[in-house]
Amino acid sequence: MSQLPSPMDPALEQRAINVIRGLAMDAPAAARSGHQGTAMALAPLAHVLWTRIMRYDASAPQWADRDRFILSCGHASILQYAMLHLTGYDVSIEDLESFRQWGSRTPGHPEVGHTPGIEVTTGPLGQGFANGVGMAIAEASLRERFGVDVCDHHIWAMVSDGDLSEGVSHEAASLAGHLGLGRLVYVYDDNHISIDGPTELALSDNAATRFDSYGWHVIELGEAAEDLDALEQALLEARSVEDRPSLVIVRSHIAYPSPRLTDDASAHGLAFGAEDITETKSVMGLPDEPFFVPDDVRDLYRAAGARGRVAREDWEQRSRAALAGREADWEASIGSRGLPGWADVLPAYTEADSPATRVASGDCVAALAGVVPGLVAGAADLIGNTGTKLPGAGVLSAAEPGGRQIHFGIREHAMGSIMVGAAHHGGVLPAAGTFLVFSDYMRPAARLAALSGAKCVFVWTHDSVGVGEDGPTHQPVEHVMSLRLIPDLTVIRPADGNETAAAWRVAVDGDGPVALILSRQNTPVLPTTATRAVDGVSRGGYVIADADAPDVVLVGTGTEVAVALEAAGLLAEDGRKVQVVSLPCWDRFDAQDDDYRRSVLPPGVPTVSVEAGVTLGWDRYADASVGIDRFGASAPGGVVLRELGITPEHVAGVARRLLAG
């Protein structure tokens, strides 16, 4: 195996950095799109991280105990792609040449699962910052539960002024400092440039003072972006701090060493023409040749990428011994799944029961604590309200890093993004809750979870105007439908306790994010869910009350399925045959074969939907809809539901009018 020279030749290192900068110009130029300026400025930092600091093996990008790297300023993606190619990941020079093109493995912003070596999907500023906090929580949890022979690594990130400006970074940084996440090291690229011009147009924060107040270890390097040894020493110092996260602040110069565009705001986006590239390469002593990588530079980086193989092989032996007798726990944790037979502990309910679905979900969470070893749960100051309590699991804190109960505080923005990062790290199954109306705060994270396939459970409760007296500010009406618009987000609104338990089966056994939409108010356990809910929820929809050759179908979700059943009884008094359908998850239902879907919603049979939310979208299943196309009101929940027409009598009346033609 090739070895890195020790010490490395300074001239070779500088040439290697210049090659990174050349690639950072060439790929956006070929694409006529991209951001080369930040990538050029941070090339020395990337060089130091990948050759002197981070522990990784390019031949094994999924090694469980590798260091994680996050490019929170994802617009500078070409920097990360260049390093992945140079160090020997499965990213070819042809991939760099097809930067930002259709079908390319090098999209405009990094996407986990799309390009080897990418850990999280970044781009929306601030999200990667918070993702890293989630990764550090997952690392601390695994290290505490399984020991340092199994888990002992760091999370590194490059963050920008844009990341620090977004509010989500404030929330995430505050929690990270509170938890003392010492394996978290961020480098702040303080380049004083934004798209509109100098950052001073809108930003006068003192980042060092701010992060010091959060409880972070802060290193102010100043003008050291080109000083490899100073960068290395700062990163090593940060890595040695075990009791708190670290922020290294580096003053860089965007687009350096371009003679014309260094420190120019236009260099943030695509500003480099052919002349600029030629001139800058001349300054660096590079030939005017696109995607130039000389053999000595490639050899240097390939040696760096292979150096971690010894550490990985040693880890494989040590971890095997350390996990002896605990293999099942490890496999379940790292796969974010349950132990064999885990679903047997889920609660079952009878028609004598009437729990709110948030309460039933809480019963499920409590039952799963002992059989889903990676489950970590919490809420934004609403653990009791959202049913996210893990009895006996310990509270996550600086003193108890293995605690699986997480108090996120009133930080919904960061909570969602932290969940996504923890899920992508692996080893935990994050579940966290707040009121459904506040899913608005978490929507960026939910969207990125769906885009990136992060396996986490969003527990959103108080799901309708049934919230009652808190009024329209707290009564979601458009939220369920808007969440259904997000591709690959599994949205489940269970009708009763048995459907809620079945929804948890989907969440634990499946892949990707699940949103559980749960009621505040009690709701009866419905006939047939004890026997039909497991299969029915898995399929997304099912017949909850049968009728041969039905005259009309009533279809609902959540607590409104009970309303539909009562309406069916009223219609039966008219001599009408009524089929009642529960449709908790539209996407899973739409994925079923035609025969199954037609058996549930027979074509040609008049169909009425009922859901305590906006009716937009229900026309895909129903001929008429009972819903709420306005904001709610402050009154007891039952009164609001009645006044807004979510009653059996209203549903039956709509069905009668539909049948009358």
Q: Fill in the amino acid letter for 460.
A: W
The residue among 439, 384, 385, 389 whose CA lies nearest residue 415 is 439
Active-site residue (options: 166, 171, 412, 560): 412
The side-by-side arrangement of strands in the sheet containing 624-626 is: 542-545, 578-582, 552-556, 607-610, 624-626
C-alpha dihedral over 175, 180, 184, 186, to 10 degrees?
60
C-alpha distance from residue 305 to each of 85, 146, 173, 574 (Å) = 10, 27, 31, 75
CA-to-CA distance for 121 and 442, rounded, in angstroms?
Answer: 16
Calpha distance 488→514 (Å, rounded): 9
The residues with which 517 forms a beta bridge, in sequence order, are 460
Catalytic site residue 412?
A: yes
Which amino acid appears at position 107 of this protein? P
The DSSP symbol for 455 reads -
- Given the DSSP bridges, would you call strands 429-435 and 490-492 parallel, antiparallel or unpaired? unpaired
Structure token pair of residue 454: 């992060």
**What end-to-end distance do the CA atoms of the chain give, in Å?**
80
For 432-445, letters b (16+ CB in 10 Å) and e give bbbbbbbbebbebb
Distance CA 122, CA 111 (A): 7
* E-assigned strand segments in 453-577: 457-461, 490-492, 514-517, 542-545, 552-556
Separation in Å, CA 6 to CA 13, 18, 56: 12, 20, 19
Sign for the pseudo-dihedral over CA of 626, 627, 632, 637: positive
Structure-block tokens of residue 653: 């009346």
What residues act catalytically? 412
